[in-house]
């Protein structure tokens, strides 16, 4: 007589896993450079329209004094110059930070790995 097989976990082949789902079909007319350009042009035209309305509604002249300079400008022009100046300062600070981070990254890549 032979002994009955030991009871325990199944040692047979693992259950068949379901096959991976197929990748989603590619969309036609997806995101391209021309579609980005088209979207940018539409956004730019909308922004230009808003700025033109702002300039037309704020056309009266104001007196501006800054660091000894005295000017008479349209209110809209003065506000737009202030906004552009702020954007330039912010862009300069962002560029300086990105340059700093790239320099640090280059230094860490050049250092030999101590293992």
pLDDT at 10 over 60: no
- Domain spans in the chain, listed from the N-terminal domain onward: 37-110
Q: What is the pLDDT of residues 31-55, one digit of tens each?
A: 788 888 888 889 989 988 888 888 7
Mean pLDDT confidence for 14-38: 72
* pTM > 0.75: no
d(CA 7, CA 107): 62
Q: What is the mean pLDDT of residues 19-33?
A: 71
Interval 66-79: pLDDT, tens: 888 888 988 888 88
Q: Which residues of 67-84 are buried (b: 16+ CB within 10 A; e: fewer)?
A: eeeeeeeebbbbebeeee
**Amino acid 102: pLDDT:** 93
């Amino acid at each position: 007589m032979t002994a009955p097989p030991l009871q325990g976990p199944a040692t047979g082949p693992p259950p068949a896993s379901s096959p991976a789902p197929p990748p989603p079909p590619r969309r036609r007319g997806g995101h391209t450079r021309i579609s980005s350009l088209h979207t940018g042009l539409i956004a730019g035209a909308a922004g230009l329209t808003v700025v033109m309305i702002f300039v037309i509604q704020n056309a009266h002249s104001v007196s501006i004094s800054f660091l000894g300079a005295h000017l008479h400008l349209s209110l809209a022009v003065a506000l737009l110059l202030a906004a552009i100046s702020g954007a330039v300062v912010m862009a300069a600070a962002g560029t300086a930070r990105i340059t700093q981070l790239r320099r640090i990254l280059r230094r860490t890549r050049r250092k030999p790995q101590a293992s």
